[in-house]
Chains A and B, each alone.
Chain A
Amino acid sequence: MLLETRMNRRPQEGKIAPGCPFFYENKGRKLFGVHFAAEGEFRGQAHVLCNAFGVEGENGRAYLSRFARCLAARGCSALRFDYPGFGDSDGEFGEEDISSMCNSIDRSIEELKQRTGLPRVGLLGMRLGATLAALVSLRRSDIDSLVLWEPLVRPFETLYADLRATVTAQTVLFKQVHLTRDQIVENILAGRPSFVSGYNLNVIHDGFELGSRFLKEVKEIDLLAVDLLRVPKTQVLSVKRPPSETPPKLVQFAEALRQRGDCHSAVIASPDLPWAPDLVGVDEHNEIFRQTLSWLGLQ
């Protein structure tokens, strides 16, 4: 009998399962996760949810929690967790890298398998979390399905674009720009701080410190270069706020997966971006949830 079935308690009528928050060990450090156990009859599906990066991750947390509750309400199990250096997990943001983030996904997969008794689980990721989920799926044989919400095909390009705000912030702090994006990137890669008047400018999103190892690893990532035959069945959703359009590289990535087969992709035009800082709240009947639940056979 599956562990999940034994552990599961049917919630009282009309009550929403709160989720079970807990800390778990990963290489001597604590990771934080919330396990949303299946409500009612367990359907044998479990999903690890991988959050976005930086300020997008802060905004995406509620979105993933809500989606996890949707999965639980449909008889599936889900684990939302924080990467090391993020949220409630141990570690400092600036000291973490892609390896430690992927490693925490591996650990979370094991944790969910142990909690549910399932041999295989699904991975779902948002933005950089989607990119990492895809990378992790390549090296494992126990991933059933992969859901990618607006993955960053070449995440360095996104980070580089976001660094523009760090340059702009200098005009507020110092009335002039002392360091360009290229100089900041150069300093980060060399492991040097970018100090101006006591402020370290090696940051993104106005305060998330970027580490050297992180940036070096991010520069290497290109989803177009991965062996797509090793990627499990995949759903790729491009989520855009009109009038912006899907980045050409994401179109290319989704097309390559479609040609390989076992891939569903769609473009969703919605004003409600899960990671946008200007919106609060989650509509349970939104198109992203609907498309993914439908693809997972849970509608």
Chain B
Amino acid sequence: MRERPVVFQSGKEQLHGILSLPDAAPAQGRDEAGIVLVGTIRGRCGANRQYERYARAFANAGIPAFRFDNACLGDSTGKLDPIDHRIFYTRGQNGEYVNDLLSAVQAFRKEANPRRLILMGLCGGALTALLANAVLSPPADDIVLLAVPVLFERFDGYVPTHAARAIDIPRNTYWDKVWSPEAWARLLTGQSRMDVIAACGKSTLHTAWIKASKRLSFSTDSDLHPRFNRHFLRALDANVSRKTRLLFIFGLTDPLRSDFENQFKTIFWSSNPAYEACSEIQYIPGCNHSFTRREWQDEVIRLSLYFIGSCLPKAA
């Protein structure tokens, strides 16, 4: 396993990342799979240095991995005056760090261009992965979501960030474009991303079908938790319609696991068979929200490698 630092641009900011590469060069000039670990509040090393452990374990298993600091965190540039960590989480839950992840994926694809792209994140990082992949082109093949939050940390209304608007498929992304002559010109001259448009269209029809078919176990918004994050649901639907495979991992002592089960799974899961077809849910006994202990991190590595391995071609 070898590592090297990578500095890349995300908007106006310079983000710092570490690329972990397997010792052996890829057999056919290109690795089968590569992972981008999505930066969190603790930066590219993750809580209790777990991202560093994951990246090295993946690289030792022959899978290149990339981890990075979001803007304003760790070694990356960016100005952020001190804020309560809950405000930071809420911003992330509104998609504030989606653009950083999109830039990181671009940098990773430039450095190591694997056939399959996997995103992996913890808590806000997991949600950012889900949100970003709704608009990522080409999309990631798999996402490993550790303790993904389905409720806002604190809800003061949806923040109209550019990224959040982009995720809100397709009302914000495409509705404006219906009235834009430039957008029509791009479409008619074949410059538009047809795969993204098709995915968005499919996602919209799918959501409309779910709502119309009365397969939802709730009838009004009042049945939803007041802090329920609709970005999560929309991004999930977009990912499912893009055939991205999802591995959810929760610690059994994590309160966010109950949120996931009570506020999402019991309400929405049965309404859409595609969730079950695309997703896998795993629980780690005793594990807390942040996967802080080595025993739990080892289990995450084992589950993730098994999940990733099950989609790769078997060695001859």
Measured CB to CB, the residues of A under 8 A from B are: 16, 18-19, 21-23, 30, 32, 34, 55, 58-59, 61-62, 65, 69, 80, 86-88, 93, 172-173, 197-200, 203, 205-209, 271-272, 277-284
Contacts and interface: CB of A to CB of B under 8 A. Distances in A.
Contact of B77 (A18, A32, A61): A18
B24 interface: no
- 3 closest pairs, A vs B, by CB? A207-B292, A18-B14, A21-B5
Given A61-B74, A65-B74, A87 B52 contact: yes
Nearest to B87: A280
B45 interface: yes
A114 to B, nearest CB: 19
A207 B293 contact: yes
Contacts of A209: 294
Nearest to A80: B75
A62 B4 contact: no
B292 A206 contact: yes
Contacts of A86: 49
Interface of B: 3-5, 7, 14, 16, 18, 41-45, 47-49, 52, 69, 72-75, 77, 79-85, 88, 253, 286, 288, 290, 292-295
A146 to B, nearest CB: 24
A280 B88 contact: yes
A18 B16 contact: yes
Nearest to B5: A21
Nearest to A30: B3
B293 A199 contact: yes
Contacts of B77: 16, 18, 69
22 contacts: A18-B16, A18-B77, A21-B5, A22-B5, A58-B45, A61-B75, A62-B73, A65-B75, A80-B75, A87-B52, A88-B3, A172-B253, A203-B293, A206-B292, A207-B294, A272-B82, A279-B83, A279-B84, A280-B72, A280-B88, A281-B88, A284-B79
Contact of B14 (A16, A23, A30, A173): A16
Contacts of B16: 18-19, 21, 34
B285 to A, nearest CB: 9
A87 B7 contact: no
Nearest to A22: B5
A199 B297 CA distance: 12
Nearest to B80: A281
A264 B305 CA distance: 54
Contacts of B292: 205-207
Contacts of A59: 42
Given A88-B3, A279-B84, A206 B48 contact: yes
With a 10 A CB-CB cut-off, give which of B5, B80, B288 has the most chain A CB atoms: B5
A274 B301 CA distance: 31
A86 B69 CA distance: 16
Contacts of B4: 23
A281 B72 contact: yes
B59 to A, nearest CB: 13
Nearest to A286: B82
Contacts of A277: 85
A266 B12 CA distance: 37
With a 10 A CB-CB cut-off, give which of B74, B82, B83, B286 has the most chain A CB atoms: B82
A71 to B, nearest CB: 14
A285 B182 CA distance: 45
A32 B44 CA distance: 13
A58 B42 CA distance: 6
B295 A199 contact: yes
Contacts of A22: 5
A95 to B, nearest CB: 12
